[in-house]
């Protein structure tokens, strides 16, 4: 069912001209680094804020590792990096380092200027600051990322610690999406598979 939602997301993303992304990293109960990649865009049905993928990192969580995972994900779904207009992160050094941070690496790959934001929630935890409505309407918050990590920890608990990353991503996608599964298509696909 989550693959059906991913197909719908990708179809919409291929038609838009601008995408904002929010990227955050956390560890699951098995101490596997997971990067959540959320996208915000305006589809034909209105604004969307969706988990595109949960990207497990093996080994380190340097800006280069995060950048490679995000670029690989975008390439896999045939979404040009040039559609990215803004990036929101938690402000960690691996994200924001001027030379080796994720944002710097992504900016090198994109052929136009992009806006980079330090997540509003993280900023407010560091200092209280009022922000303009315009900033909020961009992808100024990685709240969705933080919320997805809370859900991830509920889904992949001590009792269900053997969930593979792909199943974890499917569960998270179903939990966080605003898309509705195309039950007619899923049913038709199942009928076609059972007739073989």
Residue 12 near residue 43, CB atoms below 8 Å: yes
Output the CATH code of domain 2-184.
3.30.420.40
What is the per-residue pLDDT for 78?
Answer: 93
* pLDDT surpasses 50 at 16: yes
What is the per-residue pLDDT for 175?
Answer: 76
Residues 6+ apart with CB under 8 A from 119: 22, 24, 88, 89, 90, 91, 140, 141, 142, 143, 145
What is the per-residue pLDDT for 77?
Answer: 93
The separation between CA 115 and the C-alpha centre of its own chain, rounded to angstroms, equals 17
The domain spans of the chain are: 2-184
pLDDT of 56-71, one tens digit each?
Answer: 888 778 888 888 999 9
**pTM of the entire predicted model:** 0.66
What is the per-residue pLDDT for 140?
Answer: 44
């Amino acid at each position: 069912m989550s693959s059906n939602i991913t197909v719908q997301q990708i179809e919409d993303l291929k038609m838009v001209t601008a995408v904002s992304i929010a990227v955050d990293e956390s560890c699951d109960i098995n101490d596997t680094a997971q990067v959540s990649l959320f996208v915000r865009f305006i589809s034909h049905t209105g604004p969307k804020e969706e988990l595109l993928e949960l990207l497990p990192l093996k080994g380190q969580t340097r800006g280069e590792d995060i950048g490679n995972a995000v670029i690989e994900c975008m390439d896999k779904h045939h979404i040009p990096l040039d559609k990215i207009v803004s990036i929101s992160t938690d402000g960690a050094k691996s994200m924001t380092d001027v030379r080796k941070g994720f944002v710097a690496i992504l900016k090198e790959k994109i052929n136009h200027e992009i806006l980079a934001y330090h997540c509003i929630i993280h900023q407010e935890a560091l200092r209280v600051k009022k922000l303009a409505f315009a900033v909020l309407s961009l992808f100024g918050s990685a709240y969705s990322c933080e919320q997805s990590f809370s859900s991830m920890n509920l889904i992949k608990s001590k009792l269900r610690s053997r969930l593979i990353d792909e199943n974890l991503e499917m569960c998270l996608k179903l939990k966080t999406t605003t898309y509705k599964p195309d039950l007619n298509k899923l049913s038709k696909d199942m009928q076609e598979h059972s007739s073989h």
